[in-house]
Amino acid sequence: MLALRLNKFTTLILLLSVLILGSCSGNKTKDQSTPESVADTAYTTHYAKGFKVKFYTDYKEVTVVDPWDSTKILQRYILVDKKKDLPKNLPQGTLIRTPLTNVVAYSTIHCATLNELGMITTVKGVCEPRYIDIDYIKDGVENGSIADLGQAANPVIEKIVDVDPEAILATPIQGRTYGSIDKTGIPIIETPDYMEPLPLGRAEWIRFYSLFFDSEEKADSLFNITESNYNSIKEKVAHVAHRPTVFLDRTYSGVWYISGGESFISRMLGDAGATYAWYDNGKVESVPLPFEQILEHAGDAEYWLIKYNNPQGDLTYSALADEYKPYSYFGAYKNRNIYECNAAKKTYYEDLPIHPDYILQDFAYIFHPDLFPGYVPRYYEKMKE
């Protein structure tokens, strides 16, 4: 009798598990995959840690790792060719029919990556277009062929629904949800590439994007060029005798956000032959610090790199001191060793994720100009008086 009761209890648990798994709605697929469906094609990421790919005979499985807890999965996408019938043996995940031809992009980084892939014409709606320095997007927003969806943190849901995209490209932020967007049933492709600790790891996310647009071959070719250029510059400064100290940017609303020592930008500075002032703080994410701590820690740093967005004009030493007198206390200010990048005039933010080799070249030239005779920086200029 006891065994009979246990069998009934076990059966009940199994039935409940099946009901729970089967309750997923919308674009979520059921888990019916079989090992026999694995294709012969292998997919390897070389630097990126944030996504994994498996090729099967009838579909691709793209997994995004939770960047804040690598033991968890942030998203799993099941990609099926539009021209093929929907297979019956699909695993659980967000179903997306590829190639995508109509998407919404939340940021300039998404647009820049699609532009690099030659897929910019798939973008039908964007957030905060004033920050997107791509002619196709600017012209489209102006003539109405591309919808202005408002702020990325709070887009206009009605406009997104009107665009009727096949997917939304969005950047996840820890602790923040997508609000009412989830209720629309539109798949959200999350791209936490900014959490990659390696510059080439972040650049490799162009291969992630390509999976949704059936442009893997082009992405691989583009990434291989970036990788080769980056490593060539890195090797050129690898054995420099002096690695100057450097810190970045300035206060924002009374708080100075410093990049983590394990962040891709910290590693880029190291690859350029310098030493980032917070290289050893053990963090990937940015950390807010009061000005006093910045001055104490980076007051004697040899270089100060500042990027900002000001269409009206470039930042100068006098303007910097007028903005906040204590800025003049830094050694880099006193020694006139500040380099500035006006992102309103330069495509720094568009290029950084996919072309770290371009930014690395600027950095390496600033710290070791003798190794790069004749080079003219793309983004940074020595600050004027």
**Contacts of residue 143, Cβ cutoff 8 Å, sequence gap at least 6:** none
pLDDT of residue 7: 41
Q: Residue 215 in 3-state DSSP?
A: coil
Domain 239-382: give its CATH code.
Answer: 3.40.50.1980
- 71 with 60: CB under 8 angstroms? no
pLDDT of residue 39: 55
The neighbour count for residue 130, using CB atoms within 10 Å, is 12
Which residue ranges make up each domain of the chain? 28-222, 239-382
- 157 with 186: CB under 8 angstroms? no
Q: Judge whether 28-222 and 239-382 match in fold.
A: yes
pLDDT of residue 38: 58
Tokens representing 381 are: 């200029």
pLDDT of residue 67: 92
Residues of the chain with pLDDT under 70: 1-41
Check if CATH label 3.40.50.1980 holds for domain 28-222.
Answer: yes
pTM: 0.85
Nearest of 243, 280, 208, 252 to residue 368 by alpha carbon:
243
Taken in order 192, 197, 199, 201, is the CA torsion positive or negative?
Answer: negative
Q: Between β-strands 167-170 and 51-55, what pairing exists: parallel, antiparallel or unpaired? A: unpaired
- Contacts of 343-349 spanning 24+ positions with Cβ under 8 A: 343/307, 343/308, 343/309, 344/309, 344/310, 344/311, 345/311, 345/314, 346/378, 346/379, 347/112, 347/133, 348/307, 348/379, 349/108, 349/109, 349/112, 349/131
Percent above pLDDT 90 for the chain: 78
